[in-house]
Structures are given as structure tokens and as C-alpha cells.
């Protein structure tokens, strides 16, 4: 604890010296959320990255998020505390794979979840996150959509649109492992508790949700409703903010295995090191970034 306090003090000092901002996803360890300037879901983080006037962005999230921050800010330095923080779902679709699918469906509009590489975003017409996916789908003119990479979020939004969706078969290892049986077992224990679900979960789990939405949506729902107990079907890092915002409520996580290991590699010690050494920096090929920026900018116009 004492050492952690020392790191935190040093971090504050370095932040001033570098004119840096710390952006963190809700799945970060508590110690990272404690020192962040802004904590958000993937939409909020992209929005904040676009708005900041800091010179340096220290991004505590997975690689595609930091990459998006760099795409939106080609002239700023974007650092990650630990570069090994990838997203397996984002790796499930490649630029080549998407180009092949586009060739098979030349009239389709490509909508990509932000959980994708810069190369895939460069091949995309418009990005979305789980918070604005349906609005994005309904904002495009075409009746045919190529959707990458999350099959579960794709299935969820397809229920609310008449458009034909060609859905890539990617998924999030962390959310997809949850079964309806696990959720129902908790429901039997807490029959009055609402079930709140992230749409990256399987369709059978999402179907049980009293509320389905992005991380920010889940937090808002739990903050603004009045139950004693909640059954939460998403990554465990959200507990930190749920309990901070509603200390009087009890949150039962549907599975103790819903931990995204990629999000947990960051810590305050590595944050200090990144600002000290100004490494590792996130770089994106300028030509790819230019194209990817268009699909991200289009998304940012569609506020959840």
C-alpha cells in the first residue's frame, strides 16, 4: 500500500510534467480507476480521446482502444502501460478477411464494432460500440449490412432492424462463456433482482436480461433504479464503479470467470514507467489511420 501511494504520487508529478491525461476503461483494476482522469466505456473513451487538449494520452485499456485514440489524434503521443493488452475478439477479423467478404457483397455497408484493428476500420464505412450499435445500423441507407466481428452483439441488434445483416462469427471469450443456467441459478436465489447483461453475452443469456446495454448503460441503469440486489452479466471490473456509485446495493456477478485478462495487465507501476520512459507508444500507419478516422468520426456523430 505504501509503495502504491508512492507510485501514485510520482504518477501525478509526471502527468503534470508531460501534460498527460489518463484514460481508463471500466474493466481496469481498481488501482488504475482510482488514478484515472476519465473512466469510460469504449464510446466514451473515443469521445474523450477526440476532445482532449493534453499532449500525451496514457491509455489504460486494450490495444484497439489506444489505437483509436491515436487515429483520432495523429499528432499526440499515445502510450499504453503494457503493450501486450490485446483483444482476442478484435483479432478474429483481419483486413484480408473483410475485403473478401466485401467482394462477395458489393452493395453492403460495412459496420464494424470498435473492437477491431485499424486495418479493419480502414475497410469500414462506419464504426459503432455496444452503446450506439442500433442507431448506427439504422443511420445507414443501405438495406444490407456487413457486421464485424461480434456475432452476439450482431444477433442482438438484428432483432431490432429490418436490414439484412451478414454477421461475422467472432465473439468475446470473456462474455461468451457465461451460460443461461448460471444466470438462472442466481435468479432462483435472488428472485427480485433484475438481470443486467452486456450484449457481448450469448443470445440465450441476453434474452434473460431485464436491461441489456454497454458498460456505461449498465452503470446508469443500476444507479437510477432501486433494487436491493442486482444480477450482473459482464466483466468483473465493473464492480468497482457499481459499488462506488451505489454502496447500498449488492451486485451479484453471474460468473467469477468473467475476467478479461487483457484488461488486467495494466497497473500503476507500469503507468509510472510509461510516463517516465514515454514508451511504449502506439503507432498507426498514417495512410491506414486516415481511412480508419473516417469510420470513427462517422460513429462519433451518432451519440448513444
Give the annotated binding-site residues.
25, 42, 87, 113-115, 130, 172, 198-200, 215, 260
Between 149 and 180, whose beta carbon lies closer to ligand SF4? 149
Q: Which of 7, 14, 41, 219 binds ligand 13P (CB under 6 A)?
A: 41
The listed partner (ligand SF4, ligand 13P, none) that binds 88, CB under 5 to 8 Å by sort, is ligand SF4
- Phi, psi (deg, nearest 5) at residue 181: -60, -40
Contact mark string toward ligand 13P, 79..108, x via CB under 6 A: --------x---------------------
User: Is position 260 an interface residue for ligand SF4 (rule: CB under 6 A)?
Assistant: yes
Contact (CB, 8 A) for 33 and 8: no
The listed partner (ligand 13P, ligand SF4, none) that binds 168, CB under 5 to 8 Å by sort, is none
What is the closest distance, in whole angstroms, from the C-beta atom of residue 2 to ligand SF4 in the complex? 31
Which of the stretches 51-59, 81-89, 101-109, 187-195 binds ligand SF4 when contact is defined by CB under 6 A?
81-89
User: Is position 152 an interface residue for ligand 13P (rule: CB under 6 A)?
Assistant: no
* CA dist., res. 61 & res. 275, Å (int): 16
Q: Name residues whose C-beta falls within 8 Å of residue 169's C-beta, 6 or more positions apart in sequence.
A: 92, 151
State the residue number with the nearest CB to ligand 13P: 41
- Phi, psi (deg, nearest 5) at residue 264: -90, 0
DSSP string, 263-280: GGG--HHHHHHHHHHT-S
User: Is position 115 an interface residue for ligand 13P (rule: CB under 6 A)?
Assistant: yes
What is the closest distance, in whole angstroms, from the C-beta atom of residue 271 to ligand SF4 in the complex? 18
Count of residues for the chain?
304
Q: Name residues whose C-beta falls within 8 Å of residue 11's C-beta, 6 or more positions apart in sequence.
A: 22, 35, 268, 271, 272, 275
The listed partner (ligand 13P, ligand SF4, none) that binds 129, CB under 5 to 8 Å by sort, is ligand 13P
Contact mark string toward ligand SF4, 120..149, x via CB under 6 A: ------------------------------
Burial 260-272 (b: 16+ CB within 10 A, else e): bebbbbbbbbbbb
Between 260 and 274, whose beta carbon lies closer to ligand SF4? 260
What is the closest distance, in whole angstroms, from the C-beta atom of residue 214 to ligand 13P in the complex? 4
* SS3 (DSSP) at 297: helix
DSSP H helical ranges for the chain: 2-18, 30-35, 42-51, 63-72, 95-104, 118-122, 133-139, 151-158, 173-176, 180-189, 203-206, 215-224, 238-245, 268-277, 286-300
Between 47 and 214, whose beta carbon lies closer to ligand SF4? 214
* CA dist., res. 5 & res. 19, Å (int): 21
Between 102 and 239, whose beta carbon lies closer to ligand 13P? 239
Between 201 and 272, whose beta carbon lies closer to ligand SF4? 201
Q: Which of 150, 110, 145 lies closest to 130 in space, CA to CA?
A: 150
Residues that bind ligand 13P (CB under 6 A): 41-43, 62, 87, 115, 129-131, 172, 200, 214-215
Amino acid at each position: 500500500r505504501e509503495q502504491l501511494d508512492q507510485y501514485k504520487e510520482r504518477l501525478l508529478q509526471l502527468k503534470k510534467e508531460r501534460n498527460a491525461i489518463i484514460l481508463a476503461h471500466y474493466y481496469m483494476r481498481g488501482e488504475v480507476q482510482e488514478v484515472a482522469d476519465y473512466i469510460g466505456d469504449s464510446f466514451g473513451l473515443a469521445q474523450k480521446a477526440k476532445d482532449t487538449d493534453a499532449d500525451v494520452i496514457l491509455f489504460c485499456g486494450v490495444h484497439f482502444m489506444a489505437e483509436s485514440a491515436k487515429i483520432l489524434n495523429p499528432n499526440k503521443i499515445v502510450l499504453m502501460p503494457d503493450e501486450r493488452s490485446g483483444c482476442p475478439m478484435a483479432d478474429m477479423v483481419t483486413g484480408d478477411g473483410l475485403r473478401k467478404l466485401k467482394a462477395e457483397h458489393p452493395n453492403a455497408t460495412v459496420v464494424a464494432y470498435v473492437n477491431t484493428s485499424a486495418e479493419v476500420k480502414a475497410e469500414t464505412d462506419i464504426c459503432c460500440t455496444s452503446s450506439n450499435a442500433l442507431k448506427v445500423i439504422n443511420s445507414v441507407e443501405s438495406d444490407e449490412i456487413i457486421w464485424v466481428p461480434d456475432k452476439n452483439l450482431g444477433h442482438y441488434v438484428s432483432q431490432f432492424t429490418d436490414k439484412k445483416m451478414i454477421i461475422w462469427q467472432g465473439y468475446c471469450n470473456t462474455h461468451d462463456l457465461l451460460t443461461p443456467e448460471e444466470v438462472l441459478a442466481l435468479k432462483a436465489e435472488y428472485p427480485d433482482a433484475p438481470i443486467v447483461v452486456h450484449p457481448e453475452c450469448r443470445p440465450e443469456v441476453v434474452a434473460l436480461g431485464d436491461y441489456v446495454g454497454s458498460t456505461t448503460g449498465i452503470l446508469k441503469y443500476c444507479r437510477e433504479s432501486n433494487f436491493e440486489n442486482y444480477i450482473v452479466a459482464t466483466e468483473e471490473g465493473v464492480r468497482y464503479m457499481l459499488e462506488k456509485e451505489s454502496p447500498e446495493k449488492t451486485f451479484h456477478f453471474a460468473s467469477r470467470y468473467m475476467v478479461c485478462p487483457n484488461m488486467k495487465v495494466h497497473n500503476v507501476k507500469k503507468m509510472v514507467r510509461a510516463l517516465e520512459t514515454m514508451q511504449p507508444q502506439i503507432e498507426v500507419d498514417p495512410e491506414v489511420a486516415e481511412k480508419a478516422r473516417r469510420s470513427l468520426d462517422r460513429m462519433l456523430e451518432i451519440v448513444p
